[in-house]
Chains A and B, each alone.
Chain A
Amino acid sequence: MPESHHEEALRLTAVLQQLSEVPSVQRAGGRLITSSGDDSALLGILQEVQETVLPRDLHFCAADQSELVLTVAERRITRMRLVEKGALSQNLLKDGSADDLAQVAARLVAFCADASEIWVRAELISDHLAVDAVGLSLSALKSHLGGVVGAAVEPISLDAAVSGSKDFALAVLDSNAAESDQIIGQRDLGASLRLLDAELLRDGVGKDRLSIWSGAMPDDPSILLAVRNERRIWLAFEADNLDACLACWTEVFAPAP
């Protein structure tokens, strides 16, 4: 065989070999969330759940090709699937029962114990059965896991909650922003929020809290007030987005561990 043909054959063999390889999870477009395999794996997974508001499948892949898929909507885990050694087990968490909680916690701990490295990738979903299930709340899961690892999940800041609200907010008023930048979104609603803020200042701002008011008609905008250290955030949003709004804001006011 001429030398040039031999080189071509070698190159072709290499290409065919590459094509025959199953792409590993490391190359599947995932983001590495831990490489230490200790509690940080569990913390990394909980952090991903905490940051997920819109319905998504979170695919957690370990180096041994096992894969844990959590369907998460508004920070609630509504379905868990585990692919291990080619076998699939699945749980739809319809009612968030104590059995579901124990099972999910045990699976998470086992998955993290076996994994030295974990990658995550998120996919938007529209599976109504999974999205509509009551599922497990993050706070219930954290307390079931003993508060040791759960407590270390970073709390959400006011700024992060404002940023997370941009998908559904009609208008936002932030008392900390410069006068000309205080209102974001619809100006007329923002002006209404400014009137409410003036009323609040007349009464006294009071303690840190979250308040939401909703009107009688479905089209009435709901109004949110978040107060922390005298900073006031006012937000107008459509009443249909109440659960999404709460998912963004309740963690801001979660009690300190």
Chain B
Amino acid sequence: MTVGDRLDRFRARFPGCFVVAFADLSTGMVLADSSGAKTVQEQLDALCHSATDSLNGNIAQQLPGAGLPTNSMPQHAVALSGGEMACFLRSPTVENEALCILCDPQMPLSAVISEGAELLADIGREA
């Protein structure tokens, strides 16, 4: 099964997810995506940029050093602005790979995060 097939299956599982993209945060490139409507490259680039900012940006880098009981960079992040919610999941196996999801703000996100982490692990195992 290709990465694209896996993303399609994930989006079918969660109809509230409009766009699901697999991205390389180090290069800022979307490697595969699945979306209901036609999504232009600029939108995917913006989503990937937002993922990099959320997972590797300045605040994210401060989290392990801010005296919080956490020693790692954030594993997932949520960004809500202008009525649009994005969820970013870092791969548990390759830290610069991530899943970027645009979804309905009312979605039960913990289920999306849990299954998204499994999807990333599957992709990592097959790489």
Contacts and interface: CB of A to CB of B under 8 A. Distances in A.
Interface of A: 74-76, 134, 137-140, 188-189, 191-193, 195-196, 199-200, 203, 207-217, 219-221, 223, 225, 236, 242-243, 246, 249-250, 253-255
B83 A255 contact: yes
Contact of B104 (A139, A188, A210): A139
Contact of B63 (A76, A138, A188, A215): A215
Contact of A213 (B54, B83, B105): B54
A149 B70 CA distance: 45
B63 A210 contact: no
Contact of B75 (A200, A214, A221): A214
Nearest to A137: B106
Given A76-B108, A250-B105, A213 B69 contact: no
Nearest to B61: A199
Nearest to A139: B106
A219 B106 contact: no
**For chain A, what secondary structure do more than half of its interface residues adopt (helix, strand, loop), or is it mixed?**
mixed
A75 B85 CA distance: 17
Given A196-B59, A214-B75, A220 B105 contact: no
Interface in B18-64: 54, 58-60, 62-63
Interface residues of B, number: 32
Question: 8 closest Cβ contacts across the A-B interface?
Answer: A137-B106, A255-B83, A213-B74, A215-B70, A220-B70, A210-B80, A212-B78, A209-B81
B1 interface: no
Interface in B72-88: 72, 74-83, 85
Contacts of B76: 213-214
27 contacts: A137-B107, A139-B105, A191-B67, A196-B59, A210-B81, A211-B77, A211-B79, A212-B77, A212-B78, A213-B63, A213-B76, A214-B74, A215-B63, A215-B70, A215-B72, A216-B92, A219-B69, A220-B68, A221-B70, A223-B63, A242-B113, A243-B109, A243-B110, A250-B80, A250-B85, A253-B80, A255-B82
A207 B104 CA distance: 21
Nearest to A211: B79
